[in-house]
Amino acid sequence: MSPEVMRSNYSSLKALVSAAQSCVLCDGLSATRATVVVGHHPKGAKVLVVGEAPGAQEDETGEPFVGKSGQLLDVVLEGVGLSRATVAITSVVKCRPPKNRTPHAGEIANCAPWIDRQVELINPLVVVAMGSVAAKWAMGKATKIGDAHGQLMSWRDRELMITYHPSAALRFGPRGMPLAAMREDFTVVADRVGV
Ligand code: URA
């Protein structure tokens, strides 16, 4: 659906969340998912964090980032004075890919109108794209996290921070570079929104 049609069809997050629940644009994902994980939308969020796609626990509960990656995200957020109470959270793809495979290009394209409209409706000051799928969605092209992270960029009338996905931080461990980079990047974001 075009941005104009998305805007006229979905004038509130409530309407968007409800419609997304019955999305069947991806034959495969809609057949295997348990839930559509649209997002976590606290009122007035100035930060929107975007991941890749739900995993098993998110698919089960319908809530984004509640598994191991989500627990680490919570620790990083709280370390810089942010929290789930004030930060909106979603993923580029709203349905779990089987065996947690990377979403296919067609699935990402099918899901893009949802997240693009979600950004407009949440209206955050800063969007944080975590990992290569979210970075590609935001930048419109493959983007190396190592090169792009660290500074806020001007983006769609707001600002964008690219950072590592918490699954990379988990893979490299507590002394690894991705976790240190995430902490630094979220510190910049927290400073920007006045935390
Ligand atoms: N990873 C993501 O990118 N999103 C989730 O919701 C959970 C894990």
Low-confidence ranges of the chain (pLDDT < 50): none
Q: What is the pTM of this model?
A: 0.97
> Atom of ligand 1 at shortest distance to CA of 90?
6
Separation between Cα atoms, residue 97 and residue 104, nearest integer Å? 9
Residues having CB closer than 6 A to ligand 1 are 37, 51-55, 58, 64-65, 67, 69-70, 91
For residue 93, what pLDDT is reported?
98
Q: Which residue among 50, 60, 69 has the greatest number of ligand 1 atoms within 8 angstroms of its CB, and so is best to mutate?
A: 69
How wide is the angle at C-alpha 154 spanned by C-alphas 152 and 148, nearest 5°?
45
Separation between Cα atoms, residue 195 and residue 177, nearest integer Å? 24
- Among 157, 147, 165, 150, smallest CA distance to 89 is for 165
3-192 homologous superfamily: Uracil-DNA glycosylase-like domain (3.40.470.10)
CA distances to 23, 89, 181 from 116, rounded to whole Å, are: 15, 14, 26
147 C-alpha to ligand 1 centroid (Å): 22
Q: What is the pLDDT of residues 6-60, one digit of tens each?
A: 998 999 999 999 999 999 999 999 999 999 999 999 999 999 999 999 999 999 9
> Atom of ligand 1 at shortest distance to CA of 52?
3
